Structure 1
């Protein structure tokens, strides 16, 4: 894998860690809503930590791909929980601007933007190498 600028690597690590930390903080409260939601929040936090480690190692793209999965699913889950609701939970249209949710959405969107940039850079370097 081509070497990425350190700022990009650290921005990816920071944004995915913020996503995971927010979910770790909210997990106990989410368990009281319905158990699977809390378990998914813990899984998000663990996935974010593993992704951050993979990005830090910078040996291949698996950390970036895992981070995109974690951030993307969390982003979609947030929107679904506010609009159509989740299984066994009604929609929460009044919860769009909860501070932790907004922090998480910004971090997830930020990670996905950095991930997109990393993918484009990878494709450009492949194009350059292959001619």
Structure 2
């Protein structure tokens, strides 16, 4: 029986699909949290940040599925890290004109979001670093 070496694309297929799925989950969670695709949270800058995150998450998922791994994993880390930082700031000291969630650390959708974003961050960072070691 002949053995063959897996190509880079074959070797990264499963993590790329997992990363893409996690990105889409980040987007879906934030769509639900803001009240739908056409809704915008108050204050306006928070609502705009939600929309930017959702668009970035979908674009990142597409990039990962198309095999643009270096850029895809870099953006995936951002898709994970951005809302994690936002969660901590909005629950901790609060954000300008946005104090509704201060000390609301156990909101169920927020905890699901943390789990998804944390998993995405743990997946994307080492794979991005590994992509830097490969030839372009």
TM-score of Structure 1 vs Structure 2, range by shorter chain: 0.7 to 0.9
Unpaired stretches in structure 2, ≥5 consecutive residues: 1-7
> Which structure shows the bigger proportion of residues in helix conformation?
1
**Deviation at residue 32 of structure 1 after TM alignment:** 4.8
**Deviation at residue 14 of structure 1 after TM alignment:** 1.2
Deviating above 4 A after TM superposition, structure 1's stretches of 4 or more consecutive aligned residues are none
Q: Does 1:17 align with 2:24?
A: yes
Cα distance in 1, alignment partners of residues 102 and 14 from structure 2: 36
User: 1:114 corresponds to which residue?
Assistant: 123
- Secondary structure of 1:88's aligned partner: coil
TM-score normalized by the length of structure 1: 0.82
Any conservation in 1 of the 2:73–2:125 contact (CA below 8 Å)? no
| Number of positions where the alignment pairs a residue of Structure 1 with one of Structure 2 | 126
User: 1:43 corresponds to which residue?
Assistant: 52
Pairwise CA RMSD of aligned residues?
2.4
Unpaired stretches in structure 1, ≥5 consecutive residues: none
Partner of residue 63 from structure 1, selected from 58, 69, 72: 72
Query: Which of structures 1 and 2 has the bigger CA Rg?
Result: 2
TM-score normalized by the length of structure 2: 0.79
